[in-house]
Chain A
Amino acid sequence: MSGPDVMFPEEQQQIAMVCQRLQRDANAKAVLLIGRDGQAIAEAGDVEELDVTSLSSLTAGNVAATGGISKILREKDFTSQFHEGEKIHVHITLVGGKAILVVLFDERSSLGLVRLRVKKSSDEMARLFEQVATKAKSKSQPSILTEITDKDIDNLFND
């Protein structure tokens, strides 16, 4: 699986809370959680002026390219990346091999603090992804896909 293919409200809320706590504890500007295919999953902090969709797609591309490099070098995976800017820095980590955790921070924080807080949060997130996967597998939740009719799909494409 290249990303969590489903997300339920209960886990979404818990993941959002982990993102908020991480943003607060790491003194970060913003925290984004992204599927490996580039779908935005959760966010926290100062995101109003961010183009989250574009950022998610580019980050996923970046992680995919880095994964390609690791393969060529016969390295299992480069699990984290750090981009140092003049004002903003970006820390990128893989969470449970399924999602990408992005922390944007400035001079009010430090790489050491971000790394420390990310470690704890990513363990929690990985556990929540497992919970989602188990729930999806058990089919205990009704699927929207079984409710969709051919007519619904036709209606979507009628001009």
Chain B
Amino acid sequence: MSFINYSSREINCKLVYYGPGLCGKTTNLHYIYAKTSPEAKGKMISLATETERTLFFDFLPLSLGEIRGFKTRFHLYTVPGQVFYDASRKLILKGVDGMVFVVDSQIERMEANIESLDNLRTNLGEQGYDLDKIPYVIQYNKRDLPSAAPIEQLRNLLNPTKVPEFEACATTGVGVFDTLKAVAKSVLTELKRGS
């Protein structure tokens, strides 16, 4: 749920990165954090297990500049991708304004991608959202790996509604900011449209 403060002149929005375990959600946030100037970002928080797997969420606050004298602030969250953390994933989706689904392009992760996308649709539904009606983009991550499936195959399986999609390699940053910009722009456009 976006929050507009007319006193501090701020527009705050929440973006959530979703996807199967080890698809690169946290890596996206790490790259954004590393490449953003200090004045545009807050501290990145990771609630992770001892083995660096996301336990609850990662959080990164970003400022993207001003619109008509209002600062636009985006709070980026990731969910834990592992199947058994479903209760936590549902909590992170509360109040979401825009979604990024991060696909693991490796052919052996296809089933995990499909399962995670189904899970996203179900969990959003439980919170009263419809994936087809909220700002939503897809990122095909790990395009650099030899076992990456062809884009056409991924598109047919995971993007039947043809939402904006981006090829990425989050470890090197390819496609990371394109994905972020697309979803942030879509959130602001939707806010304007719904006003």
Interface residues of A in 29-76 (CB under 8 A from B): 35-39, 41, 51, 53-54, 57-58, 61, 64-65, 67-68, 72
Are the C-beta atoms of A152 and B67 separated by less than 8 Å? yes
- Choose the segment among A8-16, A88-96, A120-128 that binds chain B (4+ C-beta atoms closer than 8 Å): A8-16
The CA of A120 and the CA of B90, in the complex, are separated in Å by 33
A150: CB under 8 A from chain B?
yes
Instruction: Classify chain B's interface size.
Output: 35 or more
Q: Which of the residues A41, A61, A154 comes within 8 Å of B47, measured between beta carbons? A: A61
- By the criterion CB–CB under 8 Å, are B42 and A2 in contact? no
Residue B184, interface by CB 8 Å: yes
Return the contact of B1 from the options A2, A61, A65, A152 (Cβ within 8 A): A2
In whole angstroms, how far apart are the Cα atoms of A78 and B42 in the complex? 30
Residues in B neighbouring A9, C-beta threshold 8 A: 6-7
How far apart are A113's CB and chain B's nearest CB, in angstroms? 29
A7 touches B192 (CB 8 A): no
Q: If the complex has contacts A5-B2, A54-B59, are A156 and B11 also in contact, measured as CB distance less than 8 A?
A: no
Stretch at the interface among A19-27, A79-87, A101-109, A138-146: A138-146
Specify which chain A residues have a CB less than 8 angstroms from the CB of B56 in the assembled complex.
Answer: 61, 65
Within the assembled complex, what's the spacing in Å between the Cα atoms of A150 and B75?
22
Cβ of B185: which chain A residues have Cβ within 8 Å of it? 153-154, 156-157
Asked whether, in the complex, the Cβ of A7 is within 8 Å of the Cβ of B3, the reply is: yes
Chain B neighbourhood of A57, CB < 8 A? 45, 59, 61, 75
B191 touches A37 (CB 8 A): no
Contact partners of A148 in chain B: CB under 8 A: 67-68, 188, 192
Considering the complex, which residues of chain B in the window 7-35 have a beta carbon less than 8 Å from any beta carbon of chain A? Answer: 7-8, 11-12, 14
Q: How far is the CA of A124 from the CA of B66 in the complex (A)?
A: 33
Say whether B175 faces chain A, with CB atoms less than 8 Å apart. Answer: no
Q: How far is the CA of A144 from the CA of B72 in the complex (A)?
A: 12
State A58–B7 Cα separation when bound (angstroms). 24
The 5 residue pairs across chains A and B that have the minimum distance between CB atoms: A145-B195, A12-B7, A37-B95, A64-B91, A9-B7
In the assembled complex, 21 residue pairs joining A and B whose CB atoms fall closer than 8 Å, in A order, are A6-B5, A7-B5, A37-B3, A39-B12, A39-B75, A51-B43, A53-B61, A54-B61, A57-B45, A57-B61, A64-B94, A68-B87, A145-B195, A148-B67, A150-B189, A152-B67, A153-B192, A156-B64, A156-B72, A156-B188, A157-B184
